[in-house]
Amino acid sequence: MKTIKKLSSLALSMVLAVGLFAGCAPTENKEGANEGAKETKKIGMVLSTLNNPFFVSMKEGAQKKADELGYELVVLDSKDDATTERANVEDLVQQGVSVLMINPTDSDAVGNSIMVANDSNIPVITVDRGANSGEVVSHIASDNTAGGKLAAEYMLELLGGKGKLVELQGIPGASATRERGAGFHSVVDGKDGVEVVASQPADFDRQKGLNVMENIIQANPDFNGVFAHNDEMALGAIQAISTANKDVVVIGFDGTDDAVKAVEDGTMAATVAQQPDLMGSLAVENAVKLIKGETIEESIPVDLKLIKK
């Protein structure tokens, strides 16, 4: 009987010990920005498209920082398609990434993709374009509204405070489209002597920028200023304007190498320069902070500057 009692006491002690250790186990940090981050060295990045030098530069900046910090970076291209975007996110979740960095194709549609990561407790950082739904730890971007204002103010300066203007919009629904347009219109709308005679989407694409500009020239050739929501559309518009032999002030947005060269050549008046490589670098830097259990800012701004001849 004594032996049985001793064994019972030993068993009870073991149960109590297990319970004590379980009570001391780390709990999820419901308030910390690092909730759900795993202790692995794989980071996922989903880009809206790699058929655009801006996002190629973003990828390169991210890769350089990942290499520097010793982390594996997996980059997938959504090809400007929300369905592909979601499939990319599902793929990265299956691969076991610690953090998801996403540059949305569309600020509304991306919510479904982000929720896939949310359901797996993978922290999400949005880059350049924001998301209208889903849980996002941090957003890294330029102040697109301020950039739109900057473009409008410089255009009016070049045109002597008045003129007939054309706006080439980006992808409808993208936060960059809304914000750049809002900044531009906050300066030009209701201003005496200023009229926006056409405002059409060209989806941030050079060929579409060319096609839309050709159509506008045919339908309403009386204008002297063009603001394009990105440099690719601006460069396409310049081709159409050159073919039509028109003298028009064109201002783009992004500061890509081709656009800077066009400014230096005098074919483009200016570009509002972002720093996509820095965005990518900052995204990785902050993803690593999350993996290490650190908190990060909800909004991380990246400086803009106006490049003019």
pLDDT digits (tens, 9 = 90+) for 239-278: 999 999 999 999 999 999 999 999 999 999 999 998 999 9
Q: Which residue has the higher pLDDT, 18 or 58?
A: 58
Mean pLDDT in residue range 138-153: 96
pLDDT in tens, 91-107: 999 999 999 999 999 99
**Are both 42-140+276-302 and 144-273 of the same fold?**
yes
On the question of pLDDT at 13 being above 80, the answer is no
pLDDT in tens, 149-176: 999 999 999 999 999 999 999 999 898 9
pLDDT in the model for residue 205: 96
Structure pTM? 0.73
Domain boundaries, the chain: 42-140+276-302, 144-273
Query: What is the rounded CA–CA span in Å between residue 176 and residue 145?
Result: 8
Q: How confident is the model at residue 20 (pLDDT cuts 50, 70, 90)?
A: very low
pLDDT in the model for residue 185: 98
Angle at 253 between CA 112 and CA 276, to 5 degrees: 60
The Cα-based distances of 271 to 32, 36, 94, 258 in angstroms read 38, 39, 40, 11
Topology at the third CATH level for domain 144-273: Rossmann fold (3.40.50)
Asked if the 42-140+276-302 domain carries CATH number 3.20.20.70, the reply is: no
CB–CB of 166/226 below 8 Å? Answer: yes
